[in-house]
């Protein structure tokens, strides 16, 4: 599962690839709990074991993509027939 976190006043996003088998409901509950407190930190561990912490007060948005979602690469083009 991929997690994309937008950070307040930053043009860059934080992207974290979580280990296979990570449950979206568990991550969603963790995010909701952290966002309830401005002093909390959202801690995620990526598939390589690295820990990433983002202060709740700096989170603008979070996007969860499961492994079954279609991956898009390159530019999209319309097919005309």
What is the per-residue pLDDT across 10-69, written as a single tens digit (0 to 9) for each? 999 999 999 988 999 999 999 999 998 889 999 999 999 999 999 999 999 999 985 544
Instruction: Please report the beta strands in 1-81, taking only residues with DSSP state E, as ranges in sequence order.
Output: 2-7, 13-17, 41-45, 51-55, 59-65
- Asked if residues 14 and 41 have their Cβ atoms less than 8 Å apart, the reply is no
The pLDDT score that the predictor gives to residue 80 is 52
The CA distance from 45 to 17, in Å, is 9
CATH dotted code for 2-65 = 2.30.30
Residue 4 pLDDT class (50, 70, 90 cuts): very high
User: What's the pLDDT at 69?
Assistant: 47
Question: Can you give the pTM of this predicted structure?
Answer: 0.74
Domain ranges of the chain: 2-65
């Amino acid at each position: 599962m991929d997690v994309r976190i937008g950070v307040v006043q930053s043009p860059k996003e934080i992207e974290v690839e979580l280990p296979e088998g990570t449950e979206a409901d568990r991550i969603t509950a963790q995010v909701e709990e952290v966002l309830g407190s401005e002093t909390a930190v959202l801690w995620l561990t990526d598939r390589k074991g690295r820990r990433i912490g983002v202060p709740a007060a700096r989170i603008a948005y979070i996007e969860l993509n499961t492994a079954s979602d279609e991956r898009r690469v390159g530019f999209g083009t319309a097919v005309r027939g």
